[in-house]
Structure 1
Amino acid sequence: MISVTPARVSDLVPAAGILAEAFAQDPVMSSIVPGPTRRRDRLTDLFHALLASGPYATGTVDLARDAEGTILGVAAWEGPHSGQGSLARQAAELPRFARALGWLGMPRAVVLLSRLARHRPRAPHWYLAEIGVIDAARGSGVGKALLSAQLDTLDTTRQTAYLESSTPDNRRLYRRLGFEEISPIEGVPGAQPVAMLRLPAPR
C-alpha cells in the first residue's frame, strides 16, 4: 500500500537524498553537476536547496511511503506564484548551492535554469520541478501515485500543470496522465528535454 502525504521540513534531507539517487544518471542533472567526485552528496545538497527555496515554500513536496513509513518517492511542485520572493529564498540557500555546484559552476546552472524557464507558460500553473523514486520501488506504481495525488487536486480546482521531461520513458507516463508535448527545449548539453502541459481533465 502506498500513501502520499506532504513533507515536513525534517523530511527535506531524506527527500533530497532520494532525488539525488533518482537523478544520478539524468542527462540534465549531469550537465549541471558533472563528474563522479562526491556527485551523490553534491546532488543531495542541490536538491535540498531547490526544495527549500522553491516547492516547499510555494507549493508542495509530496512523499510516497509504504506501510512501514519508508519514503519510496518524492514529487515537488512549485505553486502558481512561485516567482514572488524567489531571489530571497534562493539567497538563503546559497551555501548549499555553492557546495553542490561550486562557485564556478553556479553561472552555468543559472544559464541552464533560465533556458528552461523561458518555456514555462505565462498563465498561472503548477510546475512539477522534480519527481523521483528509489531504485527498489521503480515500476511499482509509486510515480503514478505521486503524480495522481496532485493532478486530482488540480482537476478539482481547474488548474494547469507543466513539466519538462528529459527521457522518452518518462514522457510515456506523463502522456498517460494527460500531459501533451508542446515544444522541444534546445541548448541543454547532452540532453533533449521536452516541455509538456496538462490542462484540467474534463468534468
Structure 2
Amino acid sequence: MSITVRPASRSEVPAAAAVLAEAFATDPVLAEIRPSRPGEQREAVLGALFAALVRAVPEHARALDVALDGDRVVGAAFWQAPRPHAGGTVAFLRQVPELLRVLGVGGAFRALRHLRRMDRARPDAPHWYLAEIGVAAAARGQGVGGLLLEHALRRIDGLGADAYLESSTPQNRRLYRRHGFGDGAPITGFRAAAPVSMWRPAVA
C-alpha cells in the first residue's frame, strides 16, 4: 500500500466524511452525542453529519486532509484553525438544515450540550484543534493515522502553533503521544465515554 496525504478538494468532502463515519461508527463519545436508531444505516447518517460539521467551519479556518491509496480516500483528518473564525456564524447557519435532518431537534439540543462540555475543556491559548481523524477499516494497521498527523503537524509547526485534541480510547492516546501530545485532564459528564484532553506545544 502506497499512501499519499494531501489537502482534500471540495469534491472530496463526502468521501472524507464517509471514512470518518466508518471510523467513528462505534465511538463511545459520538454514541452519546448521536445514538443509533433502529433500522438506520448508521454510517450513511454519520457521513452526512461529518460532512455538515466540516462545512460548518469556513474554508479559510479549516484544514481537511485526506490519505489516498491510489485515488481512493482511506483516511481523513479535520482540523480547525485557532479561534475566532471570521464568517463562522454564517458557515454554521448554512448547515443547520442538514444538522437538524440528521440529529432532529431534540438530538441537536443533546449534541449541543455534549459539544459545549467538550468545548469548555479546550485551552484558552490559541491552537489548532483536531476535531476528527479516522482511517477506513481496510487500511488500518498500515500507519495511515500517523501519516495524517505528521502531514498536519508539519504545517502547524511551520506556523509556530500549538495543537489540541480529545481522545476517547487508550489506543489512540498512544498514537498521539508518539507525535508529541501530552495527556491533560479527563473530560467528565459522559455516561459511558471517558475522553481525555491532549495538548501539543508549538515546536520551534
Q: Which TM-score applies when normalising by structure 2?
A: 0.93
**Aligned CA-pair RMSD:** 1.4
Q: Which one-letter code corresponds to 1:198 in the other structure? A: R
Q: 2:90 aligns to what?
A: 88
Q: Which one-letter code corresponds to 2:194 in the other structure? A: Q
Q: Closer, same or farther in 2 for the Cα pair 1:146/1:93, shift >3 Å?
A: same
Asked whether 1:109 is paired with 2:78, we answer no
In structure 1, stretches of 5+ residues that fail to align are none
Aligned length, in residue pairs: 201
Q: 2:181 aligns to what?
A: 179
Q: 1:13 aligns to what?
A: 14
Please report how far the alpha carbon of residue 82 of structure 1 lies from its aligned counterpart in structure 2 after TM superposition: 4.8
SS at match of 1:192: coil
Checking the alignment, whether the CA contact within 8 Å between 1:4 and 1:149 is kept in structure 2 is yes
Out of 140, 154, 157, the position equivalent to 2:156 is 154
Q: 2:133 aligns to what?
A: 131
CA distance in 2, matches of 1:94, 1:140: 36
Q: 1:64 aligns to what?
A: 67
Q: Which one-letter code corresponds to 1:44 in the other structure? A: G
Please report how far the alpha carbon of residue 56 of structure 1 lies from its aligned counterpart in structure 2 after TM superposition: 4.1
SS at match of 1:93: helix
Q: Which TM-score applies when normalising by structure 1?
A: 0.94
CA distance in 2, matches of 1:191, 1:131: 18
Indicate the larger mover: 172-181 or 73-82.
73-82
CA distance in 1, matches of 2:175, 2:104: 34
